[in-house]
């Protein structure tokens, strides 16, 4: 490619890639599939490799990281990055106190109009100053001590939401202040990827953000997914400032900088209180951490009039929420058995007030997490509780760990070990090598799983026992009337009629439904057993392949893997289930109670244009229910998935289809309405 043509093409690619970056990382509205983005990026990389002078300072290829640094160079801030005062009173009185101080400093009488404020979120990340000259990002620095920070330009270039060149008509010099942060979903994905590689994860999103920005190797920083929100200005030249802080934020957004949508212009103390309460209610649903909100006098002229005191602006304050992390000690570690048999280690704690409540228990999630964090009895731990989220142990303060000997290093208490047997029913606890969660294998007899097992067994797409819902199952289990699914077929009218809110007619209807369910299909029965990793489609595949229950129960893992789409994980789940004597006993009791289906030879695999195709159903179809559409697909050998991916063949979309439809459009997946779907089903 000639140099002139290469330069022109490179310029087009840079603009196109940054447009897609802005749409994806700032607007959260992807404009092209990942494959198309990757193609454009690779094309630009090739041009720059062949013609190095064409690599500009705003090239998107700089986002992959540069050469490692020996150290960070100091940066003297043109305008100091000062901290703001924190209002520790987390109640409405905190906002009223700030408003009263502002009014007093401005000499406003009680009868005069309320002060107008800009209210924003207080992000829990790392403060950054971005310096743009003639619209081009030339430097990024940390806050440091407020006067001098560290040059982290290479690392900041890896943050895709930060524009390398500003949009519109920016001034000759513009310094933008904001927060680099790591979102919770990105934090979880990064840690999950690290664990899969056998590497240590990050302690929390804030540490993840700070540690990423201060990586001497930009390539490592590029591996960590960071985001950014702008919230203010440093130095600027050649620009007529808006008259308000809210106007400044709007102008920054117009330049292509990410500005958080959760901000407001509030009137007086009551407006601040309303914003504080609204954001507190929203806090747990945000994809990033905040520890409060920030109030700023909106008028820049009034800000200048109020000035500073001891290096803090009089015109701004951070109004915090109750602390979500506190220290306490572990008194014991026990395991709980969930409704699905999941085994969860739980730390019993010395009571601590965190997140607005007194916490005495905290989840350790699973055996892998408990061992990774190395939580032991006697440890001092950081406990986190965010809103209604179950409290969790975040990390251990190793320096405070009790030792056997004052002069030695040996810990007083051993590392956590998962028990071999379920503490509730005594069945074996098993954890496949490729799964994080251990489970009790006594699915049909374990009291902890009893209610869930019965509800699943009676479900409409399983044994279809109409009238057996949550409340009735709770009564049957709590009164020890039903312990296993086989006990349902022993129920009598008298026992049922004596239950709360169960009239004789209702009891008779339920008993009739139970009797009717005795005649079923093998696929429904297999699905009703609740075998781990065996859904409806797999149950149908198993029924077609084996033709009878005895052949299925006798199959080993190798034989099971001959069934279409049954891999090692699913095969192991099935084999473990039928190897548990308790489960086999319940199955024999069900047979003895009269539950039956037509045994026969394996059915022929359906051969049609739909066979083997993957569908995703979304939205509300005009005449078909989702279950009816699913039955039509499976009857012709197709499969129904819950999410859209590159492997999806068709998305059937009805009214209010939502994000699945948008993803299908982005990936170029074929989209059908109900009429088109019915036509396809005829082929």
Residues tagged active-site: 122
What dihedral do alpha carbons 152, 156, 157, 159 form, nearest 10°?
Answer: 160
CA 16 – CA 26 distance, rounded (Å): 15
CA 106 – CA 509 distance, rounded (Å): 75
CA 243 – CA 227 distance, rounded (Å): 28
Are residues 105 and 288 in contact, defined by beta-carbon separation less than 8 angstroms? no
CA 56 – CA 133 distance, rounded (Å): 14
CA 613 – CA 625 distance, rounded (Å): 20
Give the strand pairing for 136-142 and 126-133: antiparallel
In 92-204, which residue ranges form alpha helices assigned H by DSSP?
Answer: 92-106, 153-156, 184-196
Q: Give the residue among 299, 283, 285, 262 at the shortest CA–CA distance from 119.
A: 262
Per-residue tokens: 76: 């003297």
Q: Which residues of 616-633 are buried (b: 16+ CB within 10 A; e: fewer)?
A: bbbbebeebeeeebbebb
The continuous run of DSSP H or E covering 455 comes out as: helix 450-458
Residue for token digits 């994905």? 189
CA 542 – CA 526 distance, rounded (Å): 8
Rg (the chain; Cα; Å)? 31
Q: Give the residue among 261, 292, 223, 218 at the shortest CA–CA distance from 65.
A: 218
372 three-state secondary structure: helix
N-term to C-term CA, the chain: 49
Residue for token digits 């013609």? 51
Q: Nearest 5°: phi and psi at 521?
A: -115, 160
CB atoms within 10 A of CB 78: 13
Are residues 44 and 6 in contact, defined by beta-carbon separation less than 8 angstroms? no
Q: In what order do the strands lie in the sheet with 126-133?
A: 136-142, 126-133, 173-181, 227-237
Q: Give the residue among 243, 259, 272 at the shortest CA–CA distance from 102.
A: 272
Give the strand pairing for 429-430 and 316-320: unpaired
3-state secondary structure 494-556: HHHHCCCCCCHHHHHHHHHHHHHCCECCHHHHHHHCCCCCCCHHHHHHHHHHHCCHHHHHHCC
Calculate the CA 43 to chain-centre distance: 33
């Amino acid at each position: 490619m000639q140099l002139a043509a290469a330069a022109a093409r490179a310029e087009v690619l840079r603009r196109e890639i940054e447009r897609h970056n802005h749409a994806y990382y700032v607007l959260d509205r992807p404009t092209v599939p990942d494959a198309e983005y990757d193609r454009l990026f690779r094309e630009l990389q090739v041009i720059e490799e062949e013609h190095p002078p064409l690599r500009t300072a705003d090239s998107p290829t700089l986002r992959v990281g540069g050469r490692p640094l020996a150290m960070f160079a100091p940066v003297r801030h043109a305008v100091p990055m000062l901290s703001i005062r924190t209002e520790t009173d987390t109640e409405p009185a905190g906002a009223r106190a700030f408003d009263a101080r502002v009014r007093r400093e401005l000499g406003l009488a009680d009868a005069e109009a309320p002060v107008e404020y800009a209210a924003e979120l207080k992000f829990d990340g790392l403060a950054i100053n971005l310096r743009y000259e003639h619209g081009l990002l030339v430097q990024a620095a940390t806050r440091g001590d407020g006067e001098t920070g560290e040059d982290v330009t290479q690392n900041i270039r890896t943050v895709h939401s930060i524009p390398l060149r500003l949009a519109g008509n920016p001034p000759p010099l513009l310094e933008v202040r904001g927060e680099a942060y790591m979102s919770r979903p990105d934090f979880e994905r990064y840690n999950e990827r690290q664990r899969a590689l056998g590497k240590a994860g990050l302690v929390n999103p804030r540490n993840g953000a700070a540690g990423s920005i201060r990586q001497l190797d930009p390539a490592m920083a590029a591996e960590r997914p960071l985001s950014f929100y702008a919230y203010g200005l440093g130095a600027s030249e050649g620009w007529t400032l808006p008259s308000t802080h809210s106007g400044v934020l709007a102008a920054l957004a117009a330049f292509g900088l990410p500005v958080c949508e959760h901000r407001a212009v509030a009137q007086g103390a009551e407006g601040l209180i309303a914003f504080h309460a609204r954001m507190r209610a929203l806090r747990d649903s945000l994809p990033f951490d905040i520890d409060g909100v920030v109030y700023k006098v909106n008028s820049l002229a009034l800000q200048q009039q109020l000035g500073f005191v001891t290096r803090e602006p009089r015109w701004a304050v951070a109004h915090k929420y109750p602390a979500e992390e506190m220290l306490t000690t572990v008194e014991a570690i026990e395991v709980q058995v969930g409704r699905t048999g999941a085994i969860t280690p739980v730390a019993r704690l010395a009571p601590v007030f965190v997140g607005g409540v007194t916490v005495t228990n905290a989840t350790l999630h699973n055996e892998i997490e408990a061992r990774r964090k190395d939580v032991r009895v006697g440890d001092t731990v950081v406990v986190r509780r965010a809103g209604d989220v179950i409290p969790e142990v975040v990390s251990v303060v190793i320096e405070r760990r009790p030792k056997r000997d004052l002069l030695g290093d040996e810990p007083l208490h051993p590392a956590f070990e998962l028990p071999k047997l379920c503490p509730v029913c005594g069945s074996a606890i098993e954890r496949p090598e490729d799964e994080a969660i251990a489970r009790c294998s006594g699915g049909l007899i374990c009291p902890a799983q009893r209610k869930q097992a019965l509800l699943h067994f009676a479900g409409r797409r399983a044994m279809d026992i109409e009238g057996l819902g949550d409340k009735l199952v709770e009564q049957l289990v709590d009164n020890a009337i039903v312990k296993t699914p086989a006990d349902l077929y022993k129920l009598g009218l008298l026992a049922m009629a004596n239950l709360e809110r169960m009239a004789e007619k209702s009891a008779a209807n339920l008993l009739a439904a139970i009797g009717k369910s005795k005649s079923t299909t093998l696929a429904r029965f297999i699905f009703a057993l609740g075998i781990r990793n065996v859904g409806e489609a797999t149950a149908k595949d198993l029924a077609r392949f084996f033709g009878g229950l005895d052949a299925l129960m006798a199959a080993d893992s190798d034989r099971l893997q001959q069934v279409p789409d049954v891999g090692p994980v699913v095969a192991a789940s099935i084999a473990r289930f039928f190897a548990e004597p308790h489960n086999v006993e319940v199955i024999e009791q069900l047979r003895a109670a009269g539950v039956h289906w037509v045994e026969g030879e394996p059915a022929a695999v359906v051969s049609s244009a739909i066979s083997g195709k993957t569908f995703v159903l979304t939205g509300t179809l005009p005449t078909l229910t989702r279950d009816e559409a699913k039955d039509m697909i499976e009857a012709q050998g197709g499969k129904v998935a819950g999410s859209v991916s590159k492997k999806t063949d068709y998305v059937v979309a009805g009214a209010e289809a939502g994000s699945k439809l948008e993803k299908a459009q982005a990936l170029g997946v074929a989209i059908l309405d109900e009429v088109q779907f019915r036509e396809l089903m005829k082929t």
